[in-house]
A and B are shown apart, each in its own frame.
Chain A
Amino acid sequence: MKTLLTFLKKNVRDYGILIALIVIVVFFQNTTNGILLRPINITNLVLQNSYIVIMACGMLLVIVAGGIDLSVGSVAAFIGAVAAVFMVRYNMHWFLAIVLSLILGGFIGAFQGYWISYAKIPAFIVTLAGMLIFRGLTLVMLQGEAVGPFAVPFQRLSSGFIPDIFNYDGFHATTVLIGVIFSILIVVLDLYNRTKQKKYGFEVIPFYLMVVKNLLIVGAVLGLCWLMASYKGLPTVMIILFVLIILYSFVTSQTVIGRRIYAMGGNVKAAMLSGVNTERLYFLTFVNMGVLAALAGLIVAARLNVATPKAGDGFELDVIAAVFIGGASATGGIGKIIGAVVGAFMIGVMNNGMSIMGIGIDWQQAIKGIVLLLAVLFDVYSKKRIT
């Protein structure tokens, strides 16, 4: 019991946010009389929050590198508009439109990144300008109208589900199968890491704790898959999310470029004097953010089946909040992808839960703000204890 406590104390920063998510889920599950975790609602939750999660991956890198990007909501709207105009007005093939949109997103990121990284204008100001510029250009692009609808394959980007190879009636067995495979992978990987860490003399968590941890994770994964299987199965967008989350977790924790981004955010001068090309790296984090904002914009457009001037309004705040709630440091150098993802879902669950409860958008905003403040407060407090 004592080891459990010390373990939790030591890793409070990593697990605190997860525990908070569980608390919030349990809370809303109660107050919504079980609606929150109904299969259809869970599927909705994932669909509604996919773009926040996607952008949170890019925003985490930007914030860890020591910057901020306020323009992502506008960029997402702008790209959605561009794709819509391509496809609807110019009859462009949907796949080509997607590719061009992502490239354009990269260029927008490069445009902002250039001013920030090479011209040394603070990121806050450049992206504030970008927020206005691209919101304005969205209106120009759409000429004030909503443009749609789109071809069915494009819609599937957001509203599709993976096909079922078993064809049981009313139950999506493939989803469960994927869940089982995924669970096995998690356990095997965790065991592998543990033995590796032990071999190299890292401090590892006690075995029984690892068993408990894995049981919880596997339980959650299987439970989620089971619930989704009883609706329409795994949404396509969830596959995109998984791939991105795994990719970005890998990049941030295992690669040279990831390590350098953290070093740059932790102390830009020290990183520079250690031979890190900080200007180019900082620039690249914004390019990456642009591409992910573009992807999010496409998914939003596909989900609504129309591009509107108001799309993506206020997304930047949800995305930034998700990253900070997930434990990233506002001064850079600290933060995890998984934290940002959990943070995004926390905001998603709050939005969803409060909507089901019938709480107005006014109070929703206020409550989200308070949660953000508490999360950062907790972070500052736990940091103080470490140092």
Chain B
Amino acid sequence: MSDVILEMRNITKVFPGVKALDDVSFSVREGEIHALVGENGAGKSTLMQVLSGVHPFGSYEGTIYFKGKECQFRNITQSEDVGLVIIHQELALVPFLSIVENLFLGNEQGKNGIINWNKAVSKSEGLLEKVGLDEAPATLVKDLGVGKQQLVEIAKALAKEVQLLILDEPTASLNDSDSEKLLDLLRQFRKNGISSILISHKLGEVLKVADSITILRDGATIETLDCNTDEITEDRIIRGMVGRDLTHRFPARDVKIGKKIFEVKDWNVYHPLQEERKVSDDINIYVREGEVVGVAGLMGAGRTELAMSIFGRSYGKNISGSAYKYGEEIDISTIQKAIAHGIAYATEDRKAYGLVLIHTIKDNISIANLQAVSQYGVIEDPKELSMVREFRDMLDIRCSSVLQLALNLSGGNQQKVVLSKWLFANQDILFLDEPTRGIDVGAKYEIYTIINQLASEGKAIVLLSSELPELLGICDRIYVMSEGKIVAEMKASDATQEKVMKHIMNHTR
């Protein structure tokens, strides 16, 4: 058994009103990949923030030992100085600076405040090689894909002579091949003696690489599993995370499919900036009452672009094509018109596009349909409140009151608020873009249940998702999208992950 590199003992962290961490102990051995899993709000991120000094010493209780020495970090710089680097889910790169500038940001190569660019560039080449990124150091970060940006972040950590790398949901926005590459890199680091802490919701990849798994639940350590000695399955981990068995990950539904409610024909959309580039190419899709239609595809396949262009042309340029509701052509050229025709688009990026975080749950739910609760432009508070509460109860949004601010909710509950907004607006054609991204297993199940319930009420649902098991689990029919085109359509009952991937690969080739 190798030595312990990090040990956190009896960490307790209290936020006003909430005990985020309750006597948590956590240790990482030298040269291992240690996965940290748990539902949203279980305290994973808080624990890592305590570790990296985001929450300075003194704001929590307990002790931290790194390589046998007690640490009292007051800020991130101090924790980075000893070789502890955290890479956040939202990448912290400056898009308009080059790779090399980003690599040494805050760690500039030079003397007396003057940068030695030759040294920086030559050093950066070595780092990029280590992470397997084949790009010129002068390339601007904004021109790289998310996967490559992730590699730049890791190279940046290496530049700081990292000993313990902490990755928070590193593969959340990566496609399968990029994820695989990243995991390989972690394995390679393990060989070189660099330990990693991997926070992830994707249990499949956790099982692939982790040496040990620590499960957090409600701010407490539940257990630490050793992958080398124990037989561990996804179900085993889930049981630890939610404290119960999840027998079905996808709830069942009585499928009652009705008339064709919505259809787009010959839909073409061009990129808003690169006017030559087609992001949706001759798309023909339809959805029926009570049907859940999935749109599968890799990152950048153009799913979001398609949905947003349909939703009142909120994305793209030179949009052409026609839209029909119950066979009649409709005008959906503005968001207001699209909403009036019963179309809704629940965004993949809740925080940036879905919610007004600084406002209350109530205000967020009612905003798209204030007409329903007002007369002559004056809002009737009681009516608004009772309607909002109805949706809170229906979707089981967990909050102290509907007057709580949206920013204080967990990801799953925020997603429910976004859904409530469109249910409040009484829309019958719902485009749901990655509705379960970044939320935990328990909350995912609840979202699926809601989707099922809506479908059984006769609403039409178009589900855009990059998680194939999810699409296979809850859809009736699946469109496969690749590079702006629909390359296949299949019944979900006939579809398999391999089949879908094959269609995508055949097209890209």
Q: Which residues of A contact B (CB under 8 A)?
A: 196, 199-203, 254-257, 259-260, 262-263, 266-267, 269-277, 329, 333-334, 385-387
Please name all residues of chain A whose beta carbon is closer than 8 Å to the beta carbon of B403 when the two chains form the complex: 202
B188 at the interface (CB under 8 A from A): no
Is the Cβ of A274 less than 8 Å from the Cβ of B377?
Answer: no
* Cα-based distance from A257 to B379 in the complex (angstroms): 10
Interface residues of B in 336-351 (CB under 8 A from A): 336, 339, 345, 347
Answer whether A263 and B379 are a contact pair too, CB < 8 Å, given A202-B403, A256-B374, A275-B368. no
Is the Cβ of B374 less than 8 Å from the Cβ of A266?
Answer: no
Binds A, one of B22-30, B132-140, B280-288, B353-361: B353-361
* Cα-based distance from A118 to B47 in the complex (angstroms): 46
Please name all residues of chain B whose beta carbon is closer than 8 Å to the beta carbon of A269 when the two chains form the complex: 352-353
Answer whether A263 and B386 are a contact pair too, CB < 8 Å, given A275-B336, A333-B356. no
Is the Cβ of A267 less than 8 Å from the Cβ of B336?
Answer: no
Please name all residues of chain B whose beta carbon is closer than 8 Å to the beta carbon of A267 when the two chains form the complex: 352-353, 355-357
B408 at the interface (CB under 8 A from A): yes
Please name all residues of chain A whose beta carbon is closer than 8 Å to the beta carbon of B311 when the two chains form the complex: 273
Please name all residues of chain B whose beta carbon is closer than 8 Å to the beta carbon of A271 when the two chains form the complex: 356, 367
Which residue of chain A lies nearest to B401 when distances are taken between CB atoms in the complex?
Answer: A203
Is the Cβ of B377 less than 8 Å from the Cβ of A255?
Answer: yes
Which residue of chain B lies nearest to A197 when distances are taken between CB atoms in the complex?
Answer: B381
Is the Cβ of A255 less than 8 Å from the Cβ of B379?
Answer: yes
* Cα-based distance from A329 to B336 in the complex (angstroms): 28
Please name all residues of chain A whose beta carbon is closer than 8 Å to the beta carbon of B352 when the two chains form the complex: 267, 269-270
Is the Cβ of B378 less than 8 Å from the Cβ of A385?
Answer: no
* CB<8 Å pairs between A and B, sample of 25: A200-B381, A200-B385, A201-B385, A202-B403, A203-B401, A255-B374, A255-B377, A256-B370, A256-B374, A259-B367, A263-B359, A263-B363, A266-B356, A266-B358, A267-B355, A267-B356, A267-B357, A270-B353, A270-B354, A270-B356, A272-B335, A273-B314, A273-B335, A274-B421, A387-B407
Interface residues of B in 376-391 (CB under 8 A from A): 377-379, 381-382, 385-386
Which residue of chain B lies nearest to A278 when distances are taken between CB atoms in the complex?
Answer: B335
Shortest C-beta distance, B495 to chain A (Å), equals: 30
Is the Cβ of B385 less than 8 Å from the Cβ of A275?
Answer: no
The residue in B378, B382, B405 that gathers the most chain A C-beta atoms within 10 A of its C-beta is: B378
* Cα-based distance from A196 to B386 in the complex (angstroms): 13
* Cα-based distance from A235 to B385 in the complex (angstroms): 40
Which residue of chain B lies nearest to A385 when distances are taken between CB atoms in the complex?
Answer: B16
Please name all residues of chain B whose beta carbon is closer than 8 Å to the beta carbon of A200 when the two chains form the complex: 381-382, 385-386
Is the Cβ of A272 less than 8 Å from the Cβ of B367?
Answer: no
Shortest C-beta distance, A64 to chain B (Å), equals: 11
Please name all residues of chain A whose beta carbon is closer than 8 Å to the beta carbon of B347 when the two chains form the complex: 273
* Cα-based distance from A201 to B374 in the complex (angstroms): 20
Is the Cβ of A256 less than 8 Å from the Cβ of B379?
Answer: yes
Is the Cβ of B368 less than 8 Å from the Cβ of A274?
Answer: yes
Which residue of chain A lies nearest to B403 when distances are taken between CB atoms in the complex?
Answer: A202
The count of residues in chain B whose C-beta lies closer than 8 Å to any C-beta of chain A is: 37
Q: Which residues of B contact A (CB under 8 A)?
A: 16, 311, 314, 335-336, 339, 345, 347, 352-359, 363, 366-368, 370-371, 374, 377-379, 381-382, 385-386, 401, 403, 405, 407-408, 421, 425
Is the Cβ of A273 less than 8 Å from the Cβ of B353?
Answer: yes
Is the Cβ of B358 less than 8 Å from the Cβ of A334?
Answer: yes
Which residue of chain B lies nearest to A387 when distances are taken between CB atoms in the complex?
Answer: B407
Shortest C-beta distance, A90 to chain B (Å), equals: 39
Answer whether A196 and B407 are a contact pair too, CB < 8 Å, given A266-B358, A273-B353, A275-B335. no
Is the Cβ of A266 less than 8 Å from the Cβ of B357?
Answer: yes
Which residue of chain B lies nearest to A265 when distances are taken between CB atoms in the complex?
Answer: B356
* Cα-based distance from A273 to B368 in the complex (angstroms): 9
Is the Cβ of A256 less than 8 Å from the Cβ of B356?
Answer: no
Answer whether A333 and B377 are a contact pair too, CB < 8 Å, given A256-B371, A260-B367, A387-B408. no
* Cα-based distance from A387 to B409 in the complex (angstroms): 11
* Cα-based distance from A267 to B41 in the complex (angstroms): 24
Is the Cβ of B339 less than 8 Å from the Cβ of A275?
Answer: yes
* Cα-based distance from A386 to B15 in the complex (angstroms): 11
* Cα-based distance from A269 to B345 in the complex (angstroms): 13
Is the Cβ of B382 less than 8 Å from the Cβ of A263?
Answer: no
* Cα-based distance from A385 to B408 in the complex (angstroms): 12
Which residue of chain A lies nearest to B373 when distances are taken between CB atoms in the complex?
Answer: A256
Which residue of chain B lies nearest to A202 when distances are taken between CB atoms in the complex?
Answer: B403
Is the Cβ of A270 less than 8 Å from the Cβ of B355?
Answer: yes
Shortest C-beta distance, B359 to chain A (Å), equals: 5
Please name all residues of chain B whose beta carbon is closer than 8 Å to the beta carbon of A272 when the two chains form the complex: 314, 335
Answer whether A259 and B370 are a contact pair too, CB < 8 Å, given A273-B335, A273-B345. yes
Shortest C-beta distance, A347 to chain B (Å), equals: 26
* Cα-based distance from A8 to B354 in the complex (angstroms): 32
Which residue of chain B lies nearest to A334 when distances are taken between CB atoms in the complex?
Answer: B358
14 additional contacts (CB under 8 A) given A269-B353, A273-B347, A333-B359: A196-B381, A257-B377, A263-B367, A267-B353, A267-B355, A267-B357, A269-B352, A270-B354, A273-B345, A274-B367, A275-B336, A276-B367, A333-B356, A386-B405
Answer whether A196 and B379 are a contact pair too, CB < 8 Å, given A269-B353, A270-B353. no
Please name all residues of chain A whose beta carbon is closer than 8 Å to the beta carbon of B374 when the two chains form the complex: 255-256
Partner of B378, one of A196, A254, A276: A254
Shortest C-beta distance, B434 to chain A (Å), equals: 15
Please name all residues of chain B whose beta carbon is closer than 8 Å to the beta carbon of A276 when the two chains form the complex: 367
Please name all residues of chain A whose beta carbon is closer than 8 Å to the beta carbon of B370 when the two chains form the complex: 256, 259-260
Shortest C-beta distance, B372 to chain A (Å), equals: 10
Shortest C-beta distance, A119 to chain B (Å), equals: 17
* Cα-based distance from A254 to B358 in the complex (angstroms): 18
Shortest C-beta distance, A198 to chain B (Å), equals: 12
The residue in B363, B370, B386 that gathers the most chain A C-beta atoms within 10 A of its C-beta is: B370
Answer whether A196 and B382 are a contact pair too, CB < 8 Å, given A270-B353, A271-B356, A334-B358. yes
Is the Cβ of B367 less than 8 Å from the Cβ of A254?
Answer: no
Shortest C-beta distance, A252 to chain B (Å), equals: 11
Please name all residues of chain B whose beta carbon is closer than 8 Å to the beta carbon of A274 when the two chains form the complex: 367-368, 421
Is the Cβ of B377 less than 8 Å from the Cβ of A256?
Answer: yes
* Cα-based distance from A256 to B384 in the complex (angstroms): 12
* Cα-based distance from A270 to B363 in the complex (angstroms): 12
Which residue of chain B lies nearest to A250 when distances are taken between CB atoms in the complex?
Answer: B378
Is the Cβ of A255 less than 8 Å from the Cβ of B336?
Answer: no
Partner of B354, one of A201, A262, A273, A334: A273
* Cα-based distance from A97 to B309 in the complex (angstroms): 49
Please name all residues of chain A whose beta carbon is closer than 8 Å to the beta carbon of B382 when the two chains form the complex: 196, 199-200
Shortest C-beta distance, A332 to chain B (Å), equals: 9
Partner of A262, one of B359, B378, B386, B425: B359
Shortest C-beta distance, B397 to chain A (Å), equals: 16
Please name all residues of chain A whose beta carbon is closer than 8 Å to the beta carbon of B367 when the two chains form the complex: 259-260, 263, 271, 274, 276
Please name all residues of chain A whose beta carbon is closer than 8 Å to the beta carbon of B385 when the two chains form the complex: 200-201
Please name all residues of chain B whose beta carbon is closer than 8 Å to the beta carbon of A260 when the two chains form the complex: 367, 370
Which residue of chain B lies nearest to A267 when distances are taken between CB atoms in the complex?
Answer: B356
Shortest C-beta distance, B350 to chain A (Å), equals: 9
Please name all residues of chain A whose beta carbon is closer than 8 Å to the beta carbon of B335 when the two chains form the complex: 272-273, 275
Please name all residues of chain B whose beta carbon is closer than 8 Å to the beta carbon of A329 when the two chains form the complex: 358
* Cα-based distance from A276 to B368 in the complex (angstroms): 7
Is the Cβ of A254 less than 8 Å from the Cβ of B379?
Answer: yes
Shortest C-beta distance, B330 to chain A (Å), equals: 16
Which residue of chain B lies nearest to A383 when distances are taken between CB atoms in the complex?
Answer: B358
Shortest C-beta distance, B187 to chain A (Å), equals: 39
Shortest C-beta distance, A301 to chain B (Å), equals: 33
Which residue of chain A lies nearest to B418 when distances are taken between CB atoms in the complex?
Answer: A270
* Cα-based distance from A266 to B364 in the complex (angstroms): 11
Complex A-B, nearest 9 residue pairs according to Cβ-Cβ distance, in ascending order: A266-B356, A274-B368, A275-B339, A267-B356, A256-B370, A274-B367, A269-B353, A256-B377, A256-B374
Please name all residues of chain A whose beta carbon is closer than 8 Å to the beta carbon of B336 when the two chains form the complex: 275, 277
Which residue of chain B lies nearest to A275 when distances are taken between CB atoms in the complex?
Answer: B339
* Cα-based distance from A247 to B363 in the complex (angstroms): 21
* Cα-based distance from A263 to B370 in the complex (angstroms): 12
* Cα-based distance from A87 to B336 in the complex (angstroms): 45
* Cα-based distance from A200 to B362 in the complex (angstroms): 13
Shortest C-beta distance, B384 to chain A (Å), equals: 9
Please name all residues of chain B whose beta carbon is closer than 8 Å to the beta carbon of A196 when the two chains form the complex: 381-382
